[in-house]
Amino acid sequence: MENGAVYNETTEPQAKQPHRPFGCTLRHLRGWRLPIKALQTILSLLAVICEEIVEDCIKCGGLYFFEFISCSAFLLSLLILCVYCTAVYETLGEDKVQRV
């Protein structure tokens, strides 16, 4: 009697992980939340691009503030999309994601 024969009868084969392109899943952003978050990311990127077009300004304080806010909004919304649409959400756990 071989060891392999004994173990083959009692162990179950491992289930394969479903193949997801780029590890993407839409399980955590369903319904209207995904299009709204994608639109927010696109619009904040558009705001960053529009701000970079400005060549001259007289009082640049407001423009620099707008640049900071639009760039921060783009990076944070992109981060949220990456966390909720990839396996990072399961890796970190729901409580840690909500805490952050």
Q: What is the pLDDT of residues 40-78, one digit of tens each?
A: 999 999 999 999 998 888 888 999 999 999 999 999 999
Q: How many C-beta neighbours within 10 Å does residue 70 have?
A: 20
- Count Cα atoms within 13 angstroms, Cβ side, for 97: 17
Report how far residue 70's alpha carbon sits from residue 43's, in angstroms, rounded to the nearest whole number: 9
Report how far residue 82's alpha carbon sits from residue 31's, in angstroms, rounded to the nearest whole number: 17
Report how far residue 41's alpha carbon sits from residue 36's, in angstroms, rounded to the nearest whole number: 9
Residues, the chain? 100
Q: What is the pLDDT of residues 18-40, one digit of tens each?
A: 555 555 666 667 778 888 888 99
